[in-house]
Structure 1
Amino acid sequence: MGELMALFAAVCFGVTHFVNGLAARRAPALTVSLFAQVGGTVVTVLAALVWTSAAASPAELCWGALSGAGTGVGVAFLYRAMSRGALSVVVPISDVGAVAIPVLVGFALLGERPGVMSAVGVALALPAIWLTSAEPAPPGQHRTTPAPALRDALIAGVGFAVQFLGMTRVPLAAGLWPVAASRVVSVVVIIALIAGSRPGLRVPGGWAITTAGAGALGSVAIVLYWVASHQQLVAIATVLSALYPAIPVVLALVVLRERIGRRQVAGLCGAAGAIALLALA
């Protein structure tokens, strides 16, 4: 069940970033991230009011807040990196960082020791993430990614790693208030980043509502990951949840009628193989 929830989390993360990636082409990236996190915050606070009866401890709320700080940094810097550089570079850099750090923490600090099949699945998933995110350059052209975009992608990866690790420290018995706290803190972090750069705060047309809805789906994703991390090893739950780059590729193929390259096909096959190994393990 934990593996299935982690995969559903990957689907939700993928749809969220696909929609907000399109929105970031029409409005400042920080503004898009703010609208998304506000939408996610509203949903989680309402859910906590309806479905949570027990009060979370201060320590549990602090872990949720730490996770939210990572979310705010990760989302803001990922969308800014996507607006500055090639998707084929910035997405896998941020995603591999988000995966590698929790896997290393699970192994070195939490004492997790995955079995042989699980270890092979994790090892197969990392290059699959990279390949799936590949965006082939047009014939005769060479894609370059500026240093600021690479820097933003690296910072985003660390932020998402903190997001994942913070949520794993919140017990399921704490209810949804730590998750709501994480969403509130993510909004505060993004507002602080906006105050420093002062982008425009307008999102054109119906994209404001669409972005907020995508942010709500992102909150569903983090809840699914949170539950999965308590039913499976942190390393495995993180790797499965971080397979989300496959979702924008599939959506671009179906919705936008884009063509995919050989590297993306190889990445999708690798992701399928990793999922099969982790599920069988």
Structure 2
Amino acid sequence: MGVMLALASAVCYGLADVAGGLLSRRWSFGRVALVGQLGGLAVMLAVAPFVPAPAVSSTALGWGALSGVGTGVGMVLLYRGMAHGAMSVVVPVSAVGGTALPVLAGVLLLGEQPSRLAWVGVAAAVPALWLVSRTGGRAGPNAVAGAMDGLGASVGIAVQYFPLALAAAGAGWWPLVAGRVTATLTVLPVALRSASAGSPPQHRFRVLAGAAGSGVLAAAALTCYQLATRQQLVVVAVVLSSLYPVIPVLLGVTVLRERLTRWQRAGLLAAAAAVVLLTVS
């Protein structure tokens, strides 16, 4: 069950990224991100009271809040890196780093010991994320800036994942609520500084609803991930949840009829192998 929850997290995050990316072409990314976080917060506030939470502690809420800071920082740096025109650099760097850092933390800080088969799966997943995320285009003159943003985003993603796994199960979904609050506060200054990027008035409601929906998907992704960590090693849950870059690629092939590069095909095969290995380990 933990494996399925982690994969569900990856699917939700992949869909949220696609929706957020498309909407950011019609409106400023800062405001899309802010509305998304508010949408996720609203849903979490509506659902959390109905989830059993016998032992809500300040420690659990603190871990959730720290996770939300990571969400906000990771999102801002990822979008800024892509705005530099260095998508082929920032996306794979952030994906690989955001996976590798929580894996190392799980092993070094939590003392987790994945099986040999699981380690092979982890070893397959890291290059898979790099290959699938590569667009094949040239990074351009801003490659260095994009790489730095990618590294920063990877730290944010790692901070998003690892602390949330430390929140006690007795706190229910309130750590997720705390995370949505701090993520919103982290994104807010960027949203206030960014100018509205021309969403036509007759489509404004659609854009707002879509942005809120992407935030709900992202919140669902973190919920599935947190539940997965309670049934599976953090190392395994992080790797499977981090396979979300596969989803935009698959949607591009099936919906937009895009052609895969040979590197992306290799990445998809490696990702499939990683899922199988981590599932049977």
In 1, are the aligned partners of 2:88 and 2:134 still within 8 Å (CA)? yes
The answer on whether the counterparts of 2:26 and 2:198 sit within 8 Å (CA) in structure 1 is yes
AA paired with 1:258? Answer: E
**Counterparts of 2:158 and 2:36, CA distance in 1:** 19
Percent of pairs with identical residues: 44
CA offset digits 1:52-100 (Å, max 9, x no partner): 4546111111111111111111112212222223433211111111111
Please, which of 195, 202, 206 is the counterpart of residue 200 of structure 1? 195
CA contact (8 A) 1:89 1:145 kept: no
Does the 8 A contact of 2:53 with 2:170 survive in 1? Answer: no
What is the aligned residue count?
275
Q: What is the distance in 2 between the residues matched to 1:279 and 1:64? A: 27
Match of 2:147 in 1: 150
Given that residues 25 and 83 in structure 1 are in contact (C-alpha distance below 8 angstroms), is that contact kept between their aligned partners in structure 2? no
1:161 counterpart = 2:158: yes
Tell whether 2:178 aligns with 1:181.
yes
Residue in 1 that maps onto 2:238: 238
Amino acid at match of 1:247: I
Q: Give the 5 Å matches for 1:198-237.
A: 198-201=193-196, 204=199, 205=203, 206-237=206-237
2:280 aligned residue? 280
**Does the 8 A contact of 1:229 with 1:237 survive in 2?**
yes
Q: Normalization by structure 2: what TM-score?
A: 0.93
Q: Which residue identity is paired with 2:89?
A: V
Specify the alignment match of 1:40 in structure 2.
40
- SS of 1:19's equivalent in the other structure is helix
Q: Any idea what SS the aligned residue of 1:258 has?
A: coil
Shift in CA distance, 24/213, structure 1 to aligned 2, threshold 3 Å: same
Question: In 2 relative to 1, CA 191–14 (structure 1 residues): closer, same or farther, beyond 3 Å?
Answer: same
Q: Which stretch shifts more, 22-31 or 224-233?
A: 22-31
Q: CA deviation at 1:145?
A: 5.8
Deviation larger for 176-185 or 201-210: 201-210
Query: Is the alpha carbon distance of 1:236 and 1:203 closer, same or farther for their aligned partners in structure 2, counting shifts above 3 Å?
Result: farther
What is the root-mean-square deviation of aligned Cα atoms in Å? 1.6
Q: How does 1:18-37 map to 2 (within 5 A)?
A: 18-37=18-37
- Residues 31 and 203 (structure 1 numbering): CA distance in 2 closer, same or farther, change over 3 Å? farther
Structure 2: runs of 5+ lacking an equivalent: none
Which amino acid letter does the alignment assign opposite residue 160 of structure 1?
I
Change in CA separation of 1:223 and 1:244 when aligned onto 2, cut-off 3 Å: same
The residue type equivalent to 1:67 in the other structure is S
Distance apart, 1:107 and its partner CA: 1.2
Taking the TM superposition and a 5 Å limit, the aligned residue runs for 1:85-96 are 85-96=85-96
- Determine if contact 2:65/2:179 at 8 Å carries over to the other structure: yes
Superposed CA offset, 1:9-40 (max 9, x none) = 00001011111111222222222211111111
Q: Which runs of 5+ in 1 are unaligned?
A: none
Question: The residue matched to 1:26 in structure 2 has which SS?
Answer: coil
Q: Distance in 2 between matches of 1:251 and 1:165?
A: 28
Give the partner amino acid of 2:58: P
Question: Is the CA contact 2:253–2:259 (under 8 Å) kept in the aligned structure 1?
Answer: yes
The answer to which of 18-27 and 92-101 deviates more is 18-27
Following the alignment from structure 2 to structure 1, what is the Cα–Cα distance between the partners of residues 198 and 64? 29
The 10-residue stretch of structure 1 (44-53 or 59-68) with the greater mean CA deviation from structure 2: 44-53
